[in-house]
Amino acid sequence: MIINGKNLKLEDTLTADICIIGAGAAGLTLAHKFHQTSLSVLLLESGGLKNDPVTQSFADGTTDGEIYPFIQSRFRCLGGSTSRWSGMCIPLDEGDFEPKSWLPHSGWPFSLSELLPYYQQAQQIFGLPETIPSLNEKSLFHQSPFETKILKYSNPLDLGKKYKQEIIESQNISLIIHSNVIELIPNQEGRLIESLKVQGSDGNRFIVKARTVILATGGMENARLLLASNSYFPQGLGNHHDLVGRFFMEHYFKVTGILPIKQQQKLTTSFTHRYPLGNTYAQDVFGFNDDFREREQLLNMHLRICRYNLLEENPAVVTGKKLAQQLSQGDFSQISQDLPTLWQNGLTGIPRYLWWHFYNKFNPSAHFDQIRFVGLVEQEPDFHNRITLSSKCDRLGQPLVNLSLNFSEQMWESVERSMFHLGKILSERGFGQLEYNGDRIQHLTSYDKVGYHHMGTTRMHPNPRQGVVDANCRVHDLDNLYMAGSSIFPTGGAANPTFTIVALALRLAEHLLKIN
C-alpha cells in the first residue's frame, strides 16, 4: 500500500516491526525481501512517486573547497538515485576486501566469498543474466598482470518502477511518500531508537515507532541524519568516537592515457562498445590483477577504452564539453569566459567532432587509430574527508550536508604509476607509445568528473573505535539501528557501488529475518 505522508498529523503514530528509511536501491531491496513475510514494514520516502524540485532541493549541500554537484549526484523520489543512474553493475574485486599493510584503514571484516551468494541474488534484482559471456582469453587485457571484468547494465534501470506494483499489492509493506525523517530519537540510555520524527513536505509532522530501524538514505544522508539526531547526544547518534561522516570516499573518472593503434592491433569491440547479454547489455573493462596491485602498492583502477580522434583536442570541443559539464552541475560561472573560445573555434570543430563521435558510436567496425583510457579511480579512506552539518538549512529547517573532500597525492601518484606500468607492458608487446602525462592529457580534463558514488561515512569495522557499524551492519552501541548503502563501505575499490549496495542489503535482510 502507498500512503501520502502529507495527510498525516502529529496525533498519528505509525508502528511497525521494521521501519526502512529511504526507498532507493538499498531500501527497496530490503522491502522486497520482507514482502510476504509475517513482519509489518514501513518504508519512509522523502520524495514522491516522481522527483520534484522542492524535495530535490533537500539534497543540496555546501563544501569547504571545490564545488560539488550535490543536486545532480543523488535523487529524492521512489527509486532514489536509480531513477537517474546509468545502471552499471560490477562486483568489487577480491583484493578490495583485504587489509593492506601499506593502506591505512583498508580491509573489510569479511572476504569476497561472504558476498558471493548475495551478488548472485543481486543479479535477479537488476535483471542480469546468470550466464557469463566467454571472455576473449587471447585479449591482451585478459593476460596477467591484467584482468578483464564485465560491466553489466541493469534492466530495468529504475528500481522504483520495478517494485511499485509489488508495494501497492503488498499486505505487509506500507510505503509512506513525502515523509522526511528529520530525527531519530533514542531512549534515555542511548541503546535503542525509540521513535522517529517525520515531517511531510507541507510541514506537517508525525511519529513512527518500530522495533528495528534501517537507515537507507544514501551515502551522504545516512551520516547527515545520524549527526542531525542530536537532541539527546550533541555529537549525534553512533558517534561516540567521532567517526560518523568521516572517511567519505568518491570515485574519480579521468582520461588517463592515449594510445595509437596500428591496423593489426585491432582491439575487440567488447571494450569499446556495449554488446547484448541476455535481456540486457554488457561491456568489458580491465585493470591490474590483485597480485600486481599488492606488489606495486597501487590503488584500484578500472580502465574503460574509448576510440579517440584528434578532433577531441579542438579547443572548442574541449571548452564545449567542460562547459556542458559545468552547466549540468549548476555552475554558470564560466559561461562568459568560455563563449569567445566556442565562438572562435566552434563553428567548424564541433560539428566535425559530433559527426565522428556518432559515426563511431553506431559503427563498431569503423576504422580508428587511437584510443583513450578512462580510469575509474579508487580513493583511499582518509579520516579528513568528511560530511558534517552545514550552517545552511533546507526548507524544512534541517542543516544541509557540508562536504570536505580532497583527492590526495597518493591517489594521483597511484594513477600515474599504474599508467607507467601499462605503457611499459604495451610497448613490450609491440604497441605504440602510451601518452599518460604531459600537456595533452592535462588538456583533456573536460572528461574528468566525480562518480556520484558516496561511500564510507558510516564505515563497517568490528571495533567501535574504528567503525560505525559492525559486520552485521548494526550501529555499534544501538541495539535496533542498522545501516544500508555505500556509507558502510570501508573501502570502495574501483567498482560502481550499487551492485554491492544491493548485495549487502540482501545479506542484511537475511540476517534480520533470522533474528526477528
Q: Tell me the β-bridge partners of 435.
A: 258
**Number of residue whose CB is nearest ligand FAD:** 24
Residue among 14 and 316 whose Cβ is closer to ligand FAD? 14
Q: Which residues contribute to the site for ligand FAD (CB under 6 A)?
A: 21-27, 44-47, 73-74, 76-77, 80-82, 84-88, 180-181, 216-218, 221, 225, 452-453, 485-486, 496-498, 501
For residue 496, the minimal CB distance to ligand FAD (Å) is 3
Instruction: State how far the Cα of 98 lies from the Cα of 290, in Å rounded to an integer.
Output: 10
| φ, ψ for residue 372, nearest 5 deg | -120, 150
Reduced to 3 states (helix: H, G, I; strand: E, B; else coil), residue 53 is helix
Residue among 423 and 467 whose Cβ is closer to ligand FAD? 467
Residue among 177 and 422 whose Cβ is closer to ligand FAD? 177
Residue among 80 and 423 whose Cβ is closer to ligand FAD? 80
For residue 28, the minimal CB distance to ligand FAD (Å) is 7
Residue among 84 and 511 whose Cβ is closer to ligand FAD? 84
For residue 439, the minimal CB distance to ligand FAD (Å) is 30
Cell digits of residue 346: 566552434
Q: How far is CA 512 from CA 133, 395, 463, in A?
A: 35, 35, 21
Residue among 75 and 288 whose Cβ is closer to ligand FAD? 75
For residue 82, the minimal CB distance to ligand FAD (Å) is 5
Residue among 128 and 342 whose Cβ is closer to ligand FAD? 128
For residue 494, the minimal CB distance to ligand FAD (Å) is 12
Contact in structure between 485 and 216 (CB atoms under 8 Å):
yes
Sheet strands (E) in 261-329: 275-277, 280-288, 301-307
For residue 79, the minimal CB distance to ligand FAD (Å) is 7
| Burial of 98 from C-beta contacts in 10 A (0-12 / 13-18 / 19+) | middle
For residue 83, the minimal CB distance to ligand FAD (Å) is 8
Closest CA to 108 of 456, 516, 359, 367: 456
Q: Which residues are CB-neighbours of 354 under 8 A, at least 6 positions away?
A: none
DSSP 130-161: SSPPPP-TTSGGGSTTEEEEEEEE-SSS-HHH
Instruction: State how far the Cα of 450 lies from the Cα of 431, in Å rounded to an integer.
Output: 30
